[in-house]
A and B are shown apart, each in its own frame.
Chain A
Amino acid sequence: MKPDWSKKIIPSFLLFLLLSFALILLDEGGALSGLKGAFENLIVPAKTRIYRFKQSQVEPSQMVKIIEEKERKIASLEGQVSTLKTENAAMKRLLGTPLPSSWRFLPAQVIGEANTQTLQIDKGKGDGVREGMAVVFENALVGKASKVGEHFSEILLPSAPSSRILALTRSSGSSDSAEETKAKGILIGQGDRMNFERVTLKENLQAGDFLFTSGDEFLPPNLFLGKIAKVYKKEGDIFQKAEVEPAVQSGTLETVFVLTYSL
């Protein structure tokens, strides 16, 4: 009986398999970009509205907790203002490095989070976005365009497990001379956090150091990645590693910029 059953299924299966491959080939060849673009024009506004709605929603039961937490935060922040002012001045010097004027920024609205490792923006191929392009917020790296549609793209965050970024640290010292490269390594996403790895033991890596892109064939240099939170160093090891606090909280972003500058 089995051959009869298989005979019934296989022709339909082959038909849909061929149709699937035909669609993939046509899409990769760009033949369906018009159709996809028209569809995305309908979908993107709806996605944007739902994402904004989700961002603005706070449950009533959470409201009391939020108010209490904010009161505690205010008290704590008042005490930290003077310290932060001093630290802010140092950070401004470090992070305020003007980005090259030849770089072109394409503003894009964040329209959703596909999962905790990617963001979706409302710009795609039709707007000049290509795979691998850097997406920034102020001078911090948000991620890289990983999947590009006609009018929207998916951005792979540095915290995604498949993300690897060549990076280097600079100290957070107060004097300008202290703003020098200290350690080079690779920033590796771990899902909900990031690790700075492959840093040789002889290099000077300290908690509080700032992490920047070192630049490669896809990413420009000097984009802020985060701050070293904790260093793991063991005698006898070849490499040391560190936990990194991300520069941007992806869940709070509304507008980002795609760096359309070709390297």
Chain B
Amino acid sequence: MKYFLLFLTIVLAAFLQAVVVNFNFLLILVLFCAVALLPAIALAVAFISGVVLDLILGGTLGLSSLGFVLPIFLLLLYRQRFSFQNHFIVGIFAAIAYLAFALLTHRVLNLFEGTVLVILVVLFRVIWPSVFRPTQEQRIVR
């Protein structure tokens, strides 16, 4: 049920992004999953989000998946090294993910969109700090 709801959210976010407002909602969702879920699931969410987005936008299938999976992999690798309790680190990772996604998918870099995205991710961190705390599994690994 949890994963069905997550898939529904992905479809809704992709539709919203492709049809209603041209803003990368999916990247926020994927970043959120990368800090809140297990790595394998976070990567699966990134991959599926890309496929759904490409299907709705009509782009080359797999390109957006690549654009999501690569920055999420980097984020997961460094999730152990950096503390996501720090707003600045969260903002930097959001900006890197936005840049990486735009470059990998040949999308036009939009400074306004990028800034809003970073602010939203940091706001999430402020409003909902528990998500950014290390999970049980991460603590065990540490």
Contacts and interface: CB of A to CB of B under 8 A. Distances in A.
Given A16-B69, A20-B62, A32-B61, A8 B141 contact: yes
B66 to A, nearest CB: 4
Nearest to A50: B19
Interface stretch (A36-44, A72-80, A89-97): A36-44
Contact of B43 (A1, A12, A40, A46): A12
Interface in B34-85: 39-40, 43-44, 46-47, 50-51, 55-63, 65-66, 69-70, 73, 76-77, 80-81
Interface string A10-50: 00110111011111111110001000100110010011001
B20 interface: yes
A25 to B, nearest CB: 8
Contact of A20 (B47, B58, B81, B110): B47
Contact of A115 (B44, B62, B108): B108
B110 A115 contact: yes
A182 interface: no
B63 A147 contact: no
A2 interface: yes
B62 A36 contact: no
Contacts of A32: 61
Nearest to B70: A17
B55 A19 contact: no
Majority-rule SS of B interface residues = helix
B2 interface: no
A20 B50 contact: yes
Interface string A143-186: 00001011011100000111000000000000000000000000
Contact of A147 (B47, B56, B59, B142): B59
Given A9-B39, A27-B62, A36-B61, A2 B19 contact: no
B22 interface: yes
Given A20-B69, A27-B62, A115-B110, A5 B46 contact: no
B77 A6 contact: yes
A17 B62 CA distance: 9
Contacts of B80: 1-2, 5
A68 interface: no
A54 to B, nearest CB: 8
Contacts of B65: 16, 19-20, 23
B58 A152 contact: yes
Contacts of A8: 39-40, 141
Nearest to A191: B108
Contacts of A120: 58
A124 B60 CA distance: 13
Given A4-B141, A17-B73, A113-B22, 8 more contacts: A9-B40, A19-B62, A23-B51, A24-B61, A36-B61, A47-B19, A115-B108, A153-B58
